[in-house]
Structure 1
């Protein structure tokens, strides 16, 4: 496709997830592996076990979508792939990597399917960060941030139908089980992060600081708690919001 220059008019969010260059990320593949079947109809993808939901409703969410472009083009995403601003991928704070998601622009009704391969956006109220191409196809590249609804479709596999290979989705899967924590704040000054970390450590378990370098700027992200269920993490984040941390939100642990 022709590479439009419209992305220069929109600022990408600076709150991208830091990347840990460990071995399994270096060998991560950009294609989705077929889930390996286990007892009880559960299945494993990239070493993590997922369990079918009793309801076929799956995971849906409403909030704001944003997009990120040239500044991140070619950099490693959180699952070890190279970010391609002309692809159809996205960042989400908690959905498992390689989950396919349908995104609907609530302003114009346009829809697109993207694959989760990154973490973010780390701004309260925003639920998904899209590539430039995905944002363009949704008609939101100029606006930058728009209200959307997302629906998790599941993991993709190829299936032959009427003599043709088509993409089908393995759903439903549980997006509630995993490793989650709560991000309470992000700072460019290390001392501010250390003060908040010390305060949280006196009240809560598992307070940590995650360092993320974005070019010439470094961010210190303060996180607290450890949860195995997303609803527990979200409930804890709401309690923190009611106290002194209005921007707290749940995120998948790194």
Structure 2
């Protein structure tokens, strides 16, 4: 019914054992939402390139795929399919959690995350989706839509449809990380560390923030970022080493909490 969409990290190592990752051996249709057509489509924006899910190339079922360096001017026609509850609640290729009721999609080679417009060829109906996963690994299919996107395009019962996929907003060329320096129970100590780090990092201008959970009663996590990976991130880590802060925790966007 639907093309199998596998998480990139899994397919690189365990492509032959995909069902072991999920609580359901087979995909199935989610519970319908009465107001699904009222759900807002994502607003396209240029995001940092995901730290996960964007290798230069990867293999699935013996076939190699090359991830695009740039998605500028991308447009393609082909078959769209959709994927459902087997994957709901599990991580997508860029580390986010797949939600069948969000307007997302899987694509084999677009850089993650990209925003694309998917238009049905037969009636011109279109939708904006955010591509955050890899797939569909099924011959002839170019994009796998979330259940919500399939419903809004009217292809959830058909299973597949001929579509045109066009880039709206590709990601930045670089990915970013947050550098977590400490997690403190004392809010005042966290603020002092935040202020000290901001002074010590000058003339670098990366923000030093405090993230606190549980209404302010949990740990106060002192983080630097977002910092582009590469020379900028290396410079931050080197400066922290000079301050005798060794092996800070490097976080991607999906790991922030």
Q: Do Structure 1 and Structure 2 share a fold, with TM-score over 0.5?
A: no
Q: Whose strand proportion is higher, 1 or 2?
A: 1
Q: TM-score range by the shorter chain?
A: 0.3 to 0.5
Q: What TM-score, normalized to structure 2?
A: 0.44
